[in-house]
Structure 1
């Protein structure tokens, strides 16, 4: 039941107030270096039936439906913002951490729940699977709030791991539920299904990304506001197709984002910003829903078990999985220790915590509350100490170290002008059709006595003066092609 008995006007007021309070709370998180997700969670609890808000909400089915949609868009936005050139050097480490690492951590935590906490083995593995995925967005938000950057390949590694471990955690959760609820279910069948689902998910995601880029470029819609509608519909379509043919829809959504984001298409920047904002909205909604689903009076009986389980996950299971998976890696010990500590829990465990209740598991409420402690303590303890730990381990980038966020002074030194001759192969072609590389950005087009900020549909004409932002090597390479006769 959700907001039962409230008129629609009051529902609007309640939802708007919760969203605004959550957004404003993110300002506080920047000041104290704690992920904003914690404040979203607290806002949901305060609005719940046992808080000042008095909103009674216990509809796990609705929470799961909203959560699945939210997670799909969160994964897509994460992939869309992922630069392939950044994650390619850590592709192997990230993929292993996101799959085998999740499995190792879940087995370790599940055995602890069974042997030490006295839970049935499959129930312990189920709880461990639910809480096994991490959230890189929370890590980067904490680092940005302190004005710090991670050195070397740490940032892309965490980024790739968090995107690839959500589908794995979901697969393990569904697999454990099947073993519990379906007598005679074979673990071997789950292994075969894993490879089929993940393979189909990756293949469909790559294919969909290539097709979607062509679709967006060829639509030539009369209203720019329709392009976000196209991408939203495409994300849902791709997820649905993957699930229908037996693939992992969540993996498909993430790979689809990566494949699309690393191609040139019209309104790329604005669409990326739109989906980033949509992903934030989805995270807020999910954490508010978790807060609403929690009944504080029921937390006390599960507090001891929840804290013990969370401590084991943070200090034992996560480091074991990281160090085993990164044995072949050339990363320094300090960097491996930081990766172990940077396993903040985020959106996925919230969605997965609703699965046992809908599957009719008797321990569903206990599982939900333990997962609540995993998310709460992880966000609070690891989030608040992330920057000090990074500084102590000396994994912060030096002030002068190269990074994606360069100073305006450095950028201005790379701004130069390129004149398009009448016989150029670029004449009468749109910016998208030029197939420009990632590091070559046309920021302004000067035509006769006017200037314009170009987008993907802007058509280049003879005599245009292009103000270009690029490094010397890339500029010289592309400029030669653009000024070459057709």
Structure 2
């Protein structure tokens, strides 16, 4: 028993260290970091070094907590001026865009994989949202300084579209698991009402939780070493409270981070540094677990149709959905083209593809494998081309000097013990 504890700890820490070293390679060559994390997980899994991990519930639980931490950090780091500047286009993409992408993709999925309409829509919902971690890293690693409106649109969209995709995926899993075959108008009405309730409750809890976090931080004179842990715990409490009453915990935790990060909260520099580190750790753990959970030996059976679906998502579904969503905002064609291309899929899509397995669906494993391959196609095809495309479209601007990094000093006699 004692040796097992040491062995599991050794393997787990070795994987995290390997992922951390891989980030150096990604920064050096501009490779999609998520792709490297997934490959490390695949290489150490059942078809690699032989580590067997097939606990879908544990994978989904760990991935959900990691995603909550990432979304809180994303909200905390989103300035309100960026949200105001890109609110219209970004929120249109994060809501209507996700629904359109799901529907367009479902048509192709039903043809290539011979799935039912509901199952095809389920796969479409799983891969409909863009991955914030992948988008942010590629822009930073490639030192791509985009026009402010384009950057803000991509950041806000990728930070807010996950709750909608999660709601659609879980709802469709429940409908299929119940062997229901509702009419189209009934299904649309149920989805709409459920969506309003889920997002509404999530938004209310998120706003109240965000103001509550700020007030508690200001009222409680906690030590600077304890304060970041306290804030992180409160953010997870907001996430859990929203989910417990039927709301979107992911929307709630993002809004809580947005409110806390844009308030005059105490020790903001310390909080940002801690959350940045926790966000990195959460990404590494989530990506490694999802890579370990996959079984590459099952991929060849659906490799060709899944790759074709990945290309369809990149070249047809995403661009068409983006174009339709951005028509009212009359953005220049180069900006629309770039937003269409930077729609990388990532860990959230793979995480959502676990839900059919949790629901015991007949084609659950097929849907998971297809989503995993689609994510790999997205990262390989789009991951290495973001920088060159931005330069070709003329969207690069000179780098600006960022805000000064404030350092908080404790004067003698001011430390709290």
Question: TM-score scaled to structure 1, two decimals?
Answer: 0.80
Cα distance in structure 2, aligned partners of 1:251 and 1:229 = 21
Equivalent residues of 2:46, 2:53 under 8 A apart: yes
CA drift at 1:266: 1.4
Structure 1 window deviating more from structure 2 (113-122 vs 126-135): it is 113-122
Equivalent residues of 1:34, 1:379 under 8 A apart: no
Equivalent residues of 1:443, 1:453 under 8 A apart: no
CA drift at 1:443: 6.0
Cα distance in structure 1, aligned partners of 2:401 and 2:367 = 41
CA drift at 1:67: 0.9
Counterpart secondary structure, 2:152: helix
Q: Superposition pairs for residues 25-424 of structure 1, below 5 Å? A: 25-51=22-48, 53-182=49-178, 183=180, 186-187=186-187, 188-221=189-222, 223-399=223-399, 403=400, 405=402
Cα distance in structure 2, aligned partners of 1:151 and 1:144 = 14
Equivalent residues of 1:287, 1:350 under 8 A apart: no
Superimposed CA distance per residue, residues 417-454 of structure 1 (whole angstroms, 9 cap, x where no aligned partner): xxxxxxxxxxxxxxxxxxxxxxxx9768xxxxxxx568
CA drift at 1:146: 2.4
Kindly indicate which of the two structures has a greater share of residues assigned to strand: 1
Equivalent residues of 1:44, 1:287 under 8 A apart: yes
Equivalent residues of 2:174, 2:359 under 8 A apart: no
Match of 1:462 in 2: none
Superimposed CA distance per residue, residues 89-118 of structure 1 (whole angstroms, 9 cap, x where no aligned partner): 111111110011000000000011114442
Question: TM-score scaled to structure 2, two decimals?
Answer: 0.93
Cα distance in structure 2, aligned partners of 1:442 and 1:281 = 24
Which structure exhibits the higher relative contact order, with contacts defined as CA atoms closer than 8 Å and separated by 6 or more residues?
2
Equivalent residues of 2:269, 2:406 under 8 A apart: no
Cα distance in structure 1, aligned partners of 2:296 and 2:87 = 42
Match of 2:20 in 1: 23
Cα distance in structure 2, aligned partners of 1:75 and 1:102 = 18
Match of 1:434 in 2: none
CA drift at 1:6: 7.1
Cα distance in structure 2, aligned partners of 1:404 and 1:72 = 31
Structure showing greater Rg: 1
Note the aligned Cα RMSD (angstroms).
2.0
Cα distance in structure 1, aligned partners of 2:41 and 2:59 = 13
- Count of residues in Structure 1 that have an aligned counterpart in Structure 2: 408
Cα distance in structure 2, aligned partners of 1:174 and 1:384 = 32
Superimposed CA distance per residue, residues 222-253 of structure 1 (whole angstroms, 9 cap, x where no aligned partner): x3221122112211211122122221111101
Counterpart secondary structure, 1:153: helix
Equivalent residues of 2:290, 2:347 under 8 A apart: no
Query: In 2 relative to 1, CA 404–367 (structure 1 residues): closer, same or farther, beyond 3 Å?
Result: farther
Cα distance in structure 2, aligned partners of 1:215 and 1:301 = 54
Cα distance in structure 2, aligned partners of 1:443 and 1:225 = 15
Structure 1 gaps of 5+ residues are 412-440, 445-451, 459-486
Superimposed CA distance per residue, residues 200-242 of structure 1 (whole angstroms, 9 cap, x where no aligned partner): 2122211211121011011002x32211221122112111221
Query: In 2 relative to 1, CA 382–112 (structure 1 residues): closer, same or farther, beyond 3 Å?
Result: same
Cα distance in structure 2, aligned partners of 1:198 and 1:379 = 29
Query: In 2 relative to 1, CA 89–156 (structure 1 residues): closer, same or farther, beyond 3 Å?
Result: same
